[in-house]
Amino acid sequence: MNAPRWNHRPEGSNWGDFGPDDQIGRMNLLTPERRLRAIRTVEHGITFCLSLPLDYPGGNTLFQHRKAPQFFHERRGEGFNFNFRLSSVCSCFSDVVSDDAVMMYTQYSTQWDGLGHVGQMFDADGDGLPEKVYYNGYRGGVEVVGPDDVSSDFGAHAIGIERLATAGVQGRGVLVDLERIHGRRRALVGYDGLMAALEGQGATVESGDFLCLYTGFADLILEMNKQPDGEVLKNSCAVLDGRDEKLLQWITDSGIVAICADNFAVEAYPARPGQGEHHPGLPLHNHCLFKLGLNLGELWYFAELAQWLRAHGRSSFLLTAPPLRLPGAVGSPATPVATV
């Protein structure tokens, strides 16, 4: 039997609660009964695409470490395997064929944050020294291996995004319409603001639900037509207040399986100043990804769904949102679908 990866778990975490080697965290709460409950919300068979075109926001102003997708093409014969005439394989063939390859930052546009995206320096083995550690005690350099590590076998060998892909990401989405309350003004939404929004909509959130936040941010990005204005974006639309402990406790208690927002980071980034000598710079990411194993969806596109839900006095829908089954990735582009 392998030695346990940790003997101290972070305060407020659920490490070990879904098993010592669990890799899907709160998705464990998405049971067949809860999926059936989600399917029962479908009345019209109308679908909404919840993804931006994946070449948005455009450029790298929104986040300088992520760049727009780039296409590549393999050579074939005298040219490329693109608009390639198969007659050069056999003169009797009339086909023209194209293939492509893409270099893509997995979190450039509409995306899932995997559990390997954010960890913390934390003393999980109780030796008095903090180490790089992720959800359920998986270690940086051991299970989550990058180019600075000794091994060249890169990737998240545990908690990779493929675990989310096989977890069956289909359940009930509950859309909180923050755009209706705040418009495109910058607003820091904590527990009180979120509860007031839910109450105002007559919406309830139950265990197994996906909490979806419509703020208008992705609409603004689309309007900027791939020339994003960083200053405007930084000062626009609602974001969650990751420093609000009451909000973090509600996330723990609510049983939600993920938070999916149309903004850049779900939470304010940078966050309000923290306390103590060391604290997370991304407190909501820390609470969700690191402590609870709860995935975050970012830069989703909710405008048309939100409009439809407003017009029909509804908040819930069937959400189908698998990431790519890409072994070892810490995030993934997504093309989620809402069905109402």
User: Quick one: 103 exposed, middle or buried, by C-beta within 10 A (0-12, 13-18, 19+)?
Assistant: exposed
Q: 175 with 212: CB under 8 angstroms? A: yes
Alpha-carbon distance of 114 to 162, in angstroms, equals 9
Q: Is 174 exposed, middle or buried (0-12, 13-18, 19+ CB in 10 A)?
A: buried
Whole-number Å distance between alpha carbons of 58 and 176: 27
Minimum distance from residue 333 beta carbon to ligand UVW (Å) = 12
Number of residues that bind ligand UVW (CB under 6 A): 8
Between 38 and 248, CB nearer to ligand UVW: 248
> Using the rule CB under 6 A, is 113 a contact of ligand UVW?
yes
Q: How would DSSP label each residue in 265-321? A: SSB-SSPSP--SSS--SSHHHIIIIIII--EEEESB--HHHHHHHHHTT--EEEEE-
Residues 6+ apart with CB under 8 A from 169: 27, 30, 258, 319, 320, 321, 322, 323
Nearer to ligand UVW, 33 or 231 (CB): 231
List the interface residues with ligand UVW, window 268-287 (CB under 6 A).
269, 285
Nearer Cβ to ligand UVW, position 285 or 287? 285
Smallest gap from residue 232 Cβ to ligand UVW (A): 18
Provide the minimum distance between the beta carbon of 111 and ligand UVW in the complex, in angstroms, as a whole number.
Answer: 7
Q: How far apart are CA 268 and CA 283, in angstroms?
A: 9
298 binds ligand UVW (CB under 6 A): yes
Query: Taking CB under 6 A as the rule, does residue 105 contact ligand UVW?
Result: no
Choices 10-18, 178-186, 261-269, 306-314 (CB under 6 A): range interacting with ligand UVW: 261-269
CB of 219 to ligand UVW, least distance (A): 18
Instruction: Kindly state whether residue 177 participates in binding ligand UVW, applying the rule CB under 6 A.
Output: no
DSSP bridge partners of 174: 211, 316
Residue 139 or 285: the one with the smaller Cβ distance to ligand UVW is 285
Identify the sign of the CA torsion 104, 107, 111, 114: positive
Per CB under 6 A, the segment of 95-103, 187-195, 236-244, 264-272 that binds ligand UVW is: 264-272
**Three-state DSSP state, 106:** coil
Q: What is the residue-wise DSSP string for 215-263?
A: -SHHHHHHHTTT---HHHHHTBSEEE-TT-HHHHHHHHHH---EEEESS
Of 117 and 287, the one with the shorter C-beta distance to ligand UVW is: 117
Query: For ligand UVW, which residue of 13, 106, 107, 332 counts as binding (CB under 6 A)?
Result: 107
Compare residues 247 and 318 and give the one whose CB is closer to ligand UVW.
Answer: 247
Judged by beta carbon, residue 203 or residue 284, the one nearer ligand UVW is 284
Asked if 131 interacts with ligand UVW (CB under 6 A), we say no
Residue among 107 and 332 whose Cβ is closer to ligand UVW: 107
Burial track 199-213 (b if 16+ CB lie within 10 A, e otherwise) = eebebebeebbbbbb
Q: Of 30, 224, 265, 292, which lies in the binding site for ligand UVW, with binding defined by CB under 6 A?
A: 265
Q: Taking contact as CB under 6 A, which single stretch among the options 127-135, 146-154, 263-271, 311-319 is the one that binds ligand UVW?
A: 263-271
Give 117 or 182: the residue with its C-beta nearer to ligand UVW: 117
Residues of the shown chain interacting with ligand UVW in the complex, contacts defined by CB under 6 A: 107, 113, 117, 264-265, 269, 285, 298
